[in-house]
Amino acid sequence: MTTVFKPKTTDVLVFKTNIRYKKDISRVAPLLSAEEKIHCWNVDLGDIDKVLRIEAEELTTGQVTQLIQQAGFQCEELTD
């Protein structure tokens, strides 16, 4: 039997946010988890920039910013 691997185009997107506490995470969680393009995500509360890291397929930074704003937070993409 041969296994066919689907080519995956998973991207890692990272954002600086003002999500500071666990209770903040529970506010963005329903929105992020509902988005089907997102495979997994986490917020690095240990880092100064409170980095939101998302593994997703064909998701734009604009879409993420919108989702985060819906939950009442700000985020901006981390770039070079």
Partner 1 sequence: MEMIVKDGFDGLSMQKLAKAAEVSPATIYIYFKDREDLILQVFEEVNGEMLKATIKGFDPDMDFNEGMKVQWFNRAEYFTKHQLEVQFFEQLRYSPLYDKTISIASKAFGESMSKFYHNAIDRKDLLPLPFEVFWATAFAPLYQLVKFHTQGRSYVTKNFRLTDEMMEQTLKLVLKALKP
CB 25 within 8 A of CB 19: yes
Closest distance of CB 2 from partner 1, Å: 30
Alpha helices in the chain (DSSP H): 22-34, 61-70
**Residues, the chain:** 80
| 20's tokens | 């500071």
Closest distance of CB 27 from partner 1, Å: 19
Binding string, 28-57, against partner 1, x = CB under 8 A?
A: --------------x-x-xxxx-x-x----
Return residues touching partner 1 (CB under 8 A).
12-14, 42, 44, 46-49, 51, 53, 78-80
